[in-house]
Amino acid sequence: MYSEVISGMTLGIGGMFVRVETDISPGLPMLSMVGYLASSVKEAGERVRTAVKNSGFILPASRITVNLSPADIRKDGAIFDLPIAVAILASMQLIHQEKLKDTLILGELGLSGDVKAVDGVLPVVHYAQKNGIRRVILPLDNMDEAGFVDDIEIIGVKWLGDLVGFLEKGEKDNIRYIKTSPYRRKEIFDEREGAAGIEEDMSDICGQESMKRGVMIAAAGFHNILMSGAAGSGKSMIAGRIPGIMPGLTYEECLELTKIYSISGLLRDKDGLIRKRPFRSPHHTATEIALIGGGVVPRPGEVSLADCGILFLDELPEYKKKVIECLRQPMEDRKILISRHHAAYEFPADFMLVAAMNPCPCGHYPDRRLCRCTDREINAYRNKISYPIMDRIDIRLEVKPVEYKDISKTSKGMTSAEMRDKVESARERQLYRYREDSFLFNSRLPQNRLEEFIKLTGEGERLLRNEFEKKKISARGYFRIKKLARTIADINDREDIQAEDVFEAMFFRNISDKGEENDG
């Protein structure tokens, strides 16, 4: 007999339906599976057969055919085990087909008939809810993440046998049931503040006030930042503390981020939600694929795992030039697009780049007592960061070594909490300013909308025009300074941008007297 179960899979960070069809017909006893399957799915046959048997059901001595459609998209993973088992049981008339109406099923099966958690549940459930599914059946351990989707019934199961009892007789042993709602979701979402945890504090760092102000401005407007300075000046310490001063996630950001982590299998011990902006620091030996994502069935890379948060590259010139260059495209488009046979996979990659570098290969320049690097070595080192990458970095800080008076100072400067307050209020201004638009931060303002949102007063405009003509700032540099000045005015809690904001923006953009080099 023929039966059909709706399941689903991820496609990029989106979802899609997969129909699981089974048919039992007379013939040699065998289980055959078709539908463009990766070997991980082909193995499902054996798992399902054993799990069904160990759940107390006897498979008929007939030919069982399982088809997963659509046939042109490659299917991967163990997510289809449970729907395949349910479809077979329906073909055996142990489950009535009408009990499966408008219901999506997914989950992996263990040999004993236990239902195991799978990756990528949130994107699939979110997609299913938007496309008419009223009820999902999934592993108990995936309930938390699925619970973030509004207006859907979620049935969490631990054993295949219990699921059959539930569907046919309404038995609730080992079954968890919730009906989600926007109200419930808001409650879960609002809990996130408390779960953020305690981190190292900005006030632990002696001195370096200008560097701290730079990172605060960067965090407020999501501006890329490069810190250059001698070894031991505290660059990595500051970078590691940036997540603690970043503004909270909006619901949409939280949903997007949680989907990425769900697909990547990094959600398991995170109670179903990513509540904090991520901080990713891939090692300088990282490959292009590790950084931007890829694979036969594409997976997100570090740039996507850093979405809505920070991608920290320490010792930037140590990374392969090719690897640094592959950041150009996501820095511009804020997403990664990977094409595969019959499908295009899109992953968000809207990260804030925080990079650190030494001033020279040995790290001591300009202290010539310690640094013996030649000018040529120093230039070659710095030139590893190409102009197009450099141009996309709004804040370039030169970090001075810590001075004795700073170490011995008893006053500690701003704490992370104080900085975060300023960042949050600058964030509020931006959320209000861009309330009609899809972007959230000043740095994300498209160039063609700049005049609409950023107006300089007479003196600020004059100052910037002067610099523009005198120092040959690139057109892109000019726009970037304006956006940075907008964030600085936001941090200073005012709507009009004043000359001092423009001046500070130029200081942080760190334009040398030689001006900016030409496009390379």
Residues that bind Zn ion (CB under 5 A): 360, 362, 365, 371, 373
Nearer to Zn ion, 59 or 362 (CB): 362
What's the burial of 159, exposed, middle or buried (CB within 10 Å: 0-12/13-18/19+)? buried
Which of 46, 398 has the CB closer to Zn ion?
A: 398
> Per-residue b/e over 296-311, b at no fewer than 16 CB within 10 Å?
ebbbbbbbbbbbbbbb
Q: State the nearest-atom distance from the C-beta of 372 to Zn ion, in Å.
A: 6
Q: List the structure tokens of 302.
A: 């570090």
| Structural tokens at position 488 | 């600085």
Q: In angstroms, what is the minimal distance from the CB of 235 to Zn ion?
A: 16
Question: Residue 270 or residue 384: which is nearer to Zn ion going by CB?
Answer: 384
Choice between 178 and 231, CB closer to Zn ion = 231
Contacts 24+ apart (CB under 8 A), 365-373: 365/230, 367/230
Closest separation in Å from C-beta 367 to Zn ion: 8
In 3D, which of 362, 361, 366 has the Cα closest to residue 379? 361
Count other Cβ atoms within 10 Å, centred on residue 433: 17
Separation of alpha carbons 25 and 114, rounded Å: 27
Min separation Cβ 212 and Zn ion, Å: 26
For residue 393, the minimal CB distance to Zn ion (Å) is 22
For the beta carbon of residue 49, count every other beta carbon within 10 angstroms. Answer: 17
Contacts of 43 (CB under 8 A, 6+ apart): none
243: part of which helix (H) or strand (E)?
Answer: none
The distance of closest approach from Cβ of residue 368 to Zn ion in the complex, given in angstroms and rounded to an integer, is 9
C-alpha–C-alpha distance, residues 475 and 61, integer Å: 74
Query: What is d(CA 99, CA 69) in angstroms, rounded to the nearest whole number?
Result: 21
Q: How far is the CB of 317 from Zn ion (least distance, A)?
A: 12
Q: Which is nearer to Zn ion, 382 or 455 (CB)?
A: 382
- How does DSSP assign 48-104, residue by residue? HHHHHHHTT----SSEEEEEEE-TTS-B-SSTTHHHHHHHHHHHTTSS-GGGGTTEE
Instruction: Spell 135-150 as b/e; 16+ CB within 10 A means b.
Output: bbbbbbbbbbbbbbbe
Please, what is the minimum distance in Å from the beta carbon of residue 361 to Zn ion?
6
The Cα–Cα gap between 313 and 303 comes to: 11
In the DSSP assignment, the letter for residue 1 is -
Nearer to Zn ion, 382 or 444 (CB): 382
Complex with Zn ion: residue 372 or 409, whichever CB lies closer: 372
Of 94 and 362, which has the nearer Cβ to Zn ion?
Answer: 362
Q: What residues pair up with 297 in beta bridges, in sequence order?
A: none
Smallest distance, Zn ion to C-beta of residue 376, A: 12
CB of 349 to Zn ion, least distance (A): 34
Query: Can you tell me the distance from the alpha carbon of 455 to that of 471, in angstroms, rounded to the nearest whole number?
Result: 22
Q: How far is the CB of 364 from Zn ion (least distance, A)?
A: 5
Cβ distance to Zn ion smaller for residue 371 or 426: 371
Q: Which is nearer to Zn ion, 376 or 405 (CB)?
A: 376
Give dist(CA 160, CA 118) in Å, integer: 15
Secondary structure string (H, E, C) spanning 114-149? EEECCCCHHHHHHHHHHCCCCEEEEEHHHHHHHCCC
Task: Please say which residue, 132 or 232, places its beta carbon nearer to Zn ion.
Answer: 232
Q: At what angle do helices 160-169 and 81-91 cross, to 10 degrees?
A: 50
| CB of residue 371 to Zn ion, shortest distance in Å | 3
| C-beta closer to Zn ion: residue 52 or 371 | 371
